[in-house]
Structures are given as C-alpha cells and as structure tokens.
Amino acid sequence: MRQTALLHVALALSAALAPLSAATAQDQIWTPRRVEAVRGVTSIAMSPDGARVAYTLAVPRIAGKDDDGAAWSELHVLSTSDGSDRTFVGGKVNVSAVAWTPNGSEIAFLAKRDGDKQTSLYAIPLLGGEARKKVEFDTSIKAFSFAPDGKRVVLIAVPPESAEQKKLTEKGFKQSVYEEDERAAKLWIADTSDAGAKPKLLSVEGHVYSVRWSPMDDRLAVGLAPTTLVDDEYMRQRVKILDANDGRLLAGIENPGKMGAFEWSPNGAWIALACATDIHETSAGRMTIAPASGGTPVDVLGAGYLGDIGGFGWQGSGSLLCLLDQGVETSFEKIEVGTGRGGAKKVLIPTGVASFTAVSLSADGQKAAFIGSRADHAPEVFTMAHGDTAPVRRTDSNPWMKNMRFAKQEAVTYKARDGVEIQGVLIRPLSEQAGMRYPLILSVHGGPEAHESNGWLTQYSRPGQMAAAKGMAVFYPNYRGSTGRGVAFARLSQADAAGKEFDDLIDAVDHFIAVGLVDGTKVGVTGGSYGGYATAWCSTRHSERFAAGVMFVGISNKISKFGTTDIPNEEFYVHALKRPWDDLEFFRERSPITYAEKSKTPLLIMGGKDDTRVDPGQSKEMYRWLKLRGSAPVRLVQYPGEGHGNRKACARLDYSVRMLQWMEHYLTGPGGAAPPYEVEYGEAVATN
C-alpha cells in the first residue's frame, strides 16, 4: 500500500515537473522547478548623469545541477538612451552594494574575488577593463560611501579579532557568550588611490549599520545603534552626524522609533529619513526630513496620510521624489519640502502601473530608475525621465516567461465582520470555469508590519501561480496590522495578537464562499514567521474551517517565543504593548498550542534549524503538542544551515515541492493519512 502510494506521488510529481517540449510551449504551467529558475533584479544605481543604470541580477542556482547555495549576484549596466545591456561582472559571483564613483567613471561594488579571504571594495571602469581592488581590510567590508572628490571612502567593518583571542580560538576555545561577545562594526576612512594603505579607524561609540558621506564637505551621516542586538537595530537606531576627520559628534537626528533609509540633500543642509514618528508605530513608514544640524524629524506627508514610504531620493534640495505604498498598489510622487515641512504633492506615476520597490535618481533628479514587477513578471528595471508620461520597462531577465500560462491576478477589497475594509490580492484558478467552486489557499504575510502588493507573488514559499496551475485559488490578505494604509490601520492589531487581525482571515474565506468562488470544505492556509503564526492559529483555534496548513518558521507558544526571540523589545513596543508577566493568561490564550486538542487540520511544519528570530523550538512545540493531542496528521521538516527563511537552492526547492504536495493531497486529492515524506523533485527545466 505504501509503495503504491509513493509510486503514485512520484509519477504525478515527475509529470508535473518534467520539461515541456517546444511544441507545447504555450501550455507551460508554473511548477516548483520553474519557480526556482526565475531571475530577478535586486538593486539599482543610476549614474550621476542619468545615462546608465547599474543593477544586480539574482541568478538562482539550480538544485541538483549546481553546487548548493544561495543565488549568484551579477553586475549589469543598462544604457538609458538605446537600451543596450551589458554584463560587467557575471558568472559565479556575488556582487553587492553597487554604487557609482562621484564622477561617474567607475562602478564600485563589494565582492570576494581572486582568492580574497574577506569581502573587499572593487571598482570597474565604465569604458571597459577589469575590476580592480580599491580597498581591502582584515575583515569583510559591509558598506561604503565615497567622499565628494572620490579620493577617500568611508567603510563599515568589524575590527579584526585580537591576536590573543585568535590564539585561544585556534587552541579550541570557541565558546560564545550570548548577546555579549559579538564585535560591533566601526567606521574606517581609506585612501582610494592606494589599495595597500591601511584604513584609519574613527572613534565611534556603538554599532554602525549605514553611512552616507555629505555631498558638500567632510561630514558623515551614520546609522548607529548602542549594541549589535537586532532589537537595538530595530528600536534604538538613530542618525548621527560625525566629522569624517576624527569621528567627533556634530549633531543627532532624534527619531523616536524605528528607522529606515536616509539621504543627504544635495546642499548638505537636510537629512531625509524614513522612520516612525512614535515609538509604538509598527514600521519606519513615514517620510520625514530634519536639519543636518540636528533635531526631530518632521513628517512631510502628514500624520493622516493613508500610505507608507517605499523609497525616495532628492530632486534638488527642495523636493523629494517618493515611492508611496498605497494599499496593494504603488505610486511615484513629488513632494515639495523647501520650507523644511511638507508642501505640494504631484503624482508622477499613478497607482496601478506596477509594483515598485526601489528608486534611484540621477544627480539632478531629472531621471529615475526603478525596480518593478507585475503579475506576469518578476522584478525588472524600469526608467523614466522628466517629461515622460510613464515609466518604461528596460530589462527582460526571464524571456522564457512569454511561453508561460498565467492565472488571472486581481486586487480585492472585502469587509470584515466589524465593517473594516480589508484589501488583498487574489490569483484565480488557471483554468477557472464559471459557476464552479474551487479550493482556496490563504497565503499570509509575516510581520505583521508588511503588506502584499499587486505585483510578482510567486516564490518558493508562496504558492501563487503554482497552486493556481493545480486548480486552486490563492489569496494574499493585507489583514489589519499590515502596512501600506497609514499608521492607524497598522496599529489596529496592537495588543490583540491573533484577535481581529486573524478574524480578517476567516472573513476573507467567507467572502470568497459568498461570491461563489470557493468550496468552504477545501481551504488551506500557509505563511512564514507571523504568517506561520497565523497558519498555526487557523489550524488549531479555527481548525473546523481549514482542511490543510503549511506553517513556515512560525510561532506556536507566545510565552516561550518571548523568551527565545532576538526582538523582545520590538515585540513589546510595536505589537504586544505588554510583557508575558503582565498578563500570562492572555499570552497562553493567544498561543496555538493551547488549542492543539481540537485540531483536525493536517499541518506540515517547516523551518530552518538556525533561526534566531523565531526559535526552531516553536516548530518542535507545535509538532509535539499536535502529535500527542491533535487528531490529524502532522509532519515537521527542518533545514540545517537555514535561518528565518531558506536561502539555498536545495532547501528552497524541497520546501516548494512539499508545500505544493501537502496542499494538493488535502485540497484536491484523497486526503486522509499524510502523503509519503519522500518526495520527487523532477528534472531542471529548460528556460531558453
């Protein structure tokens, strides 16, 4: 019986994953093997004159074919005049932190090359030639920023291990002291004309996360936190203005909560800063400016703005050009800030064009490059110049996608039981027929301070087009607590974990049942991190509503999670607003394991063995409680070497195959006992 079932699953998966011939190219559907091959643009940097865009392209390794590991990262350069695109640094490389030198003659980047033991700073001439090493250091360089004349560069790097400690390590003393012994990253000034010169250490208190050299003089804007703890990165990071010659503190920007990206104005008078304006705001979603001489940031969009900042740059010293997340869509707008406060706004790209996640501007702010995706393509480079009526897509990193079949994707708004409007994105079944009801998978985002946009939504852990090809609908809900709709909406879930925020998920199911799309007996749920928490909650507390669940790096016990996570203060300030000892019963009540006895939902639990955000013990607790108290199949799959999400090709493919297998088995297949734990991955597919 077991061998027959295994053969059935293996044959089915092999057929689904096998390459399709050219004759059937128009009938190609999305499978895990196709998703693993998707390339995507990951960063952009427009040249100072706006004539070119340097970008990094993620090139996935193919599981079982390439050596296992994370995707490669290549450096490409695109001409904005004729659209020509050249690979500057390609192959088995990992390029990061791409930036143009101030005069635009070279492209700088971080990489390990030619036997480097540590990540070094390289530059490659725009007009041709090999990349040359600008600066190397005893430890890996994490980030850099050039002085205005390009003759010096400020680096972020961790100080090297002392000779004494190195000797002890070599003798076998490899103990770690939890949250105490990690060395803080520091600032170093280096001469770019002499790669052999030793960088000079600047005396700075704290751990450095980011740095920007003033465009006018020898001042540095530095993102500093008191310690290396992730909690401090989230909640206590601030911008400090330092003297580049001696590290002397000149001023500070006093944002009261979370902090994101920051940039100098071209005249060096202002700092633009994405941040929270209250310690209890869940994300760094406000667009603010502050004098470089120090002070409190001013929200230029106003506290009542019903959106969040997605990216920005200066156009001159009196205007900001901003990507604004608005629900499931993105706009690009100009904001006048010449008075030091918010002024008139002008929409340059309306919502509905694409889902844009990054922007980079020319020195004069008249040309822009974007990373954007749509329902039918992964992240690509777009450009737009002053006077253009719309952005133009410039790259096609996956030309084979033109032969793929895509299920329809659309934005959806529905009302929760208390009348609050909830938005999300629906991918309908690929071969949908009018009048028929279909299985549904809720794909729940993490955070919860995040949101889904109406762009590319299919990745290794997100079922999207893969499930749609199997006859299932997939809905990505932006439940209350999500970003993209302003501060008030994002705070609706505070102090109410698994309360109304997850009721919104049940209400989404009821909505799709009411409109005639979904069979209410065939509903699945999946998600990672906080989405994994939602999956565990739906599979226990609301088990009667869900026929299958796939939980990824999720939370099962709110009490033990607090004691093992690396962000307990972030959770307190922007989510729970109380500690377990303030109300132990509440934390117990909002823990999925509390409802294990009533669970009848088959649950597949997966996660990395090295996760510091949500300890792997959370998955083990969920497994053990369900194994002993639940009445449905449960399986636990762990990935060695992976953390809060899978990075390596084999772990990603395995996750995709298992997730899809589990959902098919319980939503469209026979159900009952769990499918065999052995899976077939199929052959790598042709993408050319």
* 13: pLDDT strictly greater than 50: no
Question: To the nearest whole percent, how much of the chain has pLDDT over 90?
Answer: 91
Mutual angle of helices 530-540 and 500-514, in 10-degree steps: 70
The secondary structure of 294-344 as a DSSP string is: -B--EESS-TT-SSEEEEEEEETTTEEEEEEEETTEEEEEEEE-TTSS---
Q: Are strands 219-225 and 207-213 parallel, antiparallel or unpaired?
A: antiparallel
The predicted pLDDT at position 338 comes to 81
Does the pLDDT of residue 57 top 90, yes or no? yes
Residue 24 has pLDDT above 60, yes or no: no
Q: Find out whether 82 and 659 touch, Cβ atoms under 8 Å.
A: no
Report the pLDDT averaged over residues 570-596. Answer: 97
pLDDT digits (tens, 9 = 90+) for 525-548: 999 999 999 999 999 999 999 999
- Can you list the pairs that 66-73 forms with residues at least 24 positions away whose Cβ atoms lie under 8 Å? 66/649, 68/648, 68/649, 68/650, 69/648, 69/649, 70/647, 70/648, 70/649, 71/649, 73/42
Rounded distance between C-alpha atoms, residue 407 and residue 470, angstroms? 11
Q: Rounded to a whole number, what is the largest CA-CA distance in the chain?
A: 76
C-alpha triplet 454, 76, 155: angle, nearest 5°: 95
Query: Given this model, what pLDDT does residue 27 score?
Result: 63
Asked if 609 and 577 touch (Cβ cutoff 8 Å), the reply is no
Sheet with 106-111, edge to edge strand ranges: 96-100, 106-111, 120-125, 132-135
Q: Which pLDDT belongs to residue 11?
A: 30
Amino acid, single-letter form, for residue 158: V
Enter the tokens of residue 391.
Answer: 């952005």
In the predicted structure, residue 444 carries a pLDDT above the cut 70? yes
What 3-state DSSP class applies to 265? Answer: coil
Q: Does the residue 302 lie in any domain?
A: no
Structure tokens at 574: 């922007």
**Residue range of the domain that includes 23:** 2-30
| Structural domains of the chain, count | 2
Decide: 91 and 73 in contact? Cβ < 8 Å: no
Q: Is residue 452 part of a domain?
A: yes
Q: What is the pLDDT of residues 103-131, one digit of tens each?
A: 999 999 999 998 899 999 999 999 888 99
On whether the CB atoms of residues 199 and 189 are closer than 8 A, the answer is yes
Write out pLDDT tens, residues 66-76.
999 999 999 99
Q: Whole-angstrom Cα distance, residue 173 to residue 304?
A: 55
Per-residue pLDDT tens for 133-147? 999 999 999 999 999
Confidence class for position 1, pLDDT limits 50, 70, 90: very low
- Domain membership flag for residue 356: no
Residue 365 lies in a domain: no
Distances (CA, A) of 285 to 260, 423, 483, 635: 8, 18, 8, 38
pLDDT value at residue 687: 84
Residue 19's pLDDT band, with cuts at 50, 70 and 90, is very low
Look up the CATH number of the domain holding residue 577: 3.40.50.1820
pLDDT of residue 477: 98
The helix (run of H) or strand (run of E) holding residue 69 is none
Encode pLDDT of 269-293 as tens digits.
999 999 999 999 999 999 999 999 9
- Specify the pLDDT at position 339: 75
- Is-contact 312 322, C-beta < 8 A? yes
Find the mean pLDDT for residues 361-376: 97
3-state secondary structure 569-634: HHHHHHHHCCCHHHCHHHHHHCCHHHHHHHCCCCEEEEEECCCCCCCCHHHHHHHHHHHHHCCCCE
The yes-or-no verdict on residue 190 having pLDDT over 50 is yes
| Residue of 314, 350, 430 whose CA lies nearest to 16 | 430
Is residue 585 assigned to a domain? yes
Cis preceding-peptide flag for 602 (omega within 30 of 0): no
Q: Is residue 85 part of a domain?
A: no
Q: Are 594 and 584 in contact (CB under 8 A)?
A: no
pLDDT at 20 over 50: no
Q: Would the pLDDT of 7 be above 60?
A: no
Residue pLDDT, tens place only, 486-510:
999 999 999 999 999 999 999 999 9
Model pTM score: 0.93
**What is the spatial distance between Cα 289 and Cα 264, in angstroms, rounded to a whole number?**
10
Q: Which sign does the torsion angle of CA 236, 237, 240, 245 carry?
A: positive
| Residue 637, domain member (yes or no) | yes
Calculate the average pLDDT of the chain: 94
pLDDT in tens, 648-666: 999 999 999 999 999 999 9
DSSP assignment of 178-240: TTTSPPPPEEEEEETT-TTSPPEEE--SSEEEEEEE-SSSSEEEEEEESSS-HHHHHHS-EEE
For residue range 350-360, list pLDDT tens digits in order. Answer: 999 999 999 99
Q: Quote the tokens at residue 305.
A: 């703005």
Q: Identify whether 121 is part of a domain.
A: no
Q: In what helix (H) or strand (E) does residue 4 lie, and over which residues does it extend?
A: helix 2-17
pLDDT over 70 at 3, yes or no:
no
Pairing state of beta strands 319-326 and 473-478?
Answer: unpaired
Average pLDDT, integer, range 149-175: 94
